Structure 1
Amino acid sequence: MIGRLFDYWMYGGFLAGIMILALMPILAHGWSTTFTAIFVLLPIYMLHQYEEHDGDRFRLYINRTIGNGAEVLTPAAVFVINIGAVWVLDVAVTYLAWSVDLGIGLAAVYLMLINAIVHMAGAIRSRSYNPGLVTAVVLFLPFSGYASWQIQISGAATTDDHIIGLLIGIAVHAIIVAYALCRRSALASLGLRR
């Protein structure tokens, strides 16, 4: 069963994202605009993950480009990265934004914004599409920008919130790249491609 989760998690996330967004008028009744802008970041991310991971496209793309054909990202790694570093992180950030300080929501904002920047930089560098590029541009840029603006005008955002949020977003993406490069190196030293 866990193998099926590794292979098909993005479809459940996509459907959950659509359902959460469809329920937003009911769920968000009485919420501040700022908190609502933070809350929708996770279901928006889930829509992006469908474009990115449908048919195992992102993993195969990374294995081809960064891994030079070696399996630097396994289905299990993709699952852990996306569930742990996106879903769990965004849920925690959303709870903290609700219960502690809206400024904490900037961690989810920067996670999304940096992902969009990475997709766009990759497309510019390779002069080609990469899995997730369209939703990174069409969804991530406007939604992360709007959420950041809402947090800022609410007065909740401090310089520390921006720095911490930015560092979290950078760290998550740096860890993924470092993992893939370390795995590529380890596989190369063993003379393995998989």
Structure 2
Amino acid sequence: MSWLAWAATAAYLLHQFEEHGIDARGMPYAFRSTLCATFGFADATHCPIPDAFIAAVNIPVVWLAGPISALLGRRWPAIALSYLSVPAVNAVAHLGPAIASGSYNPGLVTAVLLFLPLSIWTFRIALRRPDLGGLAVAATLLGGILIHAVLMLSLKAYLAGGISETVLIAIQIFNPAVPMLLVAAVASRRPLRRAT
């Protein structure tokens, strides 16, 4: 599971490049425009979504939670599994709009080619392991849904004037802990086996 968490972290770094570097159409930093359009702002230059929000989402979840999950996963495989919550649900978040609109969105290629196969492979392995199983996989998927819901709802609250930019950023910094805590809570209900 630790190795798979490292693989998911590497896949996510490539995904970040497609979203925030150069996308599959050759457009630089295309994700922000797509995100702004999702919230009804056609012009990204006048979009009120702060650039700091993008950094606060991506750095903690990929550069911190990924390696932390992989390192802790050497002793506690459920923690490594929990990291797959993010790419698994993110793949659906890219694939759903692409199917609905019939068009590409920044991040779609890496979501389909990297996130989907890696998530399916990891969940298949986890389902066969007696120390993980269906409950841990379900908790992982629920964690992914929750982390994405918190992200989008907090951004919506910020845009509506309900929370400050500081609170918005703080939420994103702590949000990646949600899947880890949820899966750890589920794993603690059964004897937590350390990997050998």
**Aligned match of 1:156:** 131
**Aligned match of 1:88:** 64
**Aligned match of 1:180:** 155
**Aligned match of 1:124:** 99
Normalised to the residue count of structure 2, the TM-score between the two structures is 0.70
Partner deviation per Cα, 1:1-25 (whole Å, 9 max, x = no partner):
xxxxxxxxxxxxxxxxxxxxxxxxx
Residue 143 (structure 1) aligned with residue 110 (structure 2)? no
Residue 57 (structure 1) aligned with residue 27 (structure 2)? no
- RMSD (Å) for aligned C-alpha atoms: 2.1
Partner deviation per Cα, 1:76-123 (whole Å, 9 max, x = no partner):
110010011333222222122112x21222211221110000101111
Query: Which consecutive residues of structure 1, in runs of 5 or more, have no partner in the other structure?
Result: 1-33, 188-194
- Name the structure with the higher helix share: 1
Could you list the structure 1 runs, at least 4 aligned residues long, displaced by more than 6 angstroms after superposition: none
SS in 1 for 2:84: helix
How much has 1:72 moved relative to structure 2? 4.6
Alpha-carbon separation, structure 1, partners of 2:49 and 2:34: 10
Query: Which consecutive residues of structure 2, in runs of 5 or more, have no partner in the other structure?
Result: 22-27, 163-196
CA contact (8 A) 2:4 2:80 kept: no
Alpha-carbon separation, structure 2, partners of 1:170 and 1:58: 20
How much has 1:147 moved relative to structure 2? 1.9
Aligned counterparts, 1:31-70, within 5 A: 34-54=1-21, 55-69=28-42
Alpha-carbon separation, structure 1, partners of 2:19 and 2:5: 22
Residue 77 (structure 1) aligned with residue 44 (structure 2)? no
Q: 1:120 is aligned with what amino acid? A: L
CA contact (8 A) 1:37 1:146 kept: no
**Identity over the aligned pairs, expressed in percent?**
30
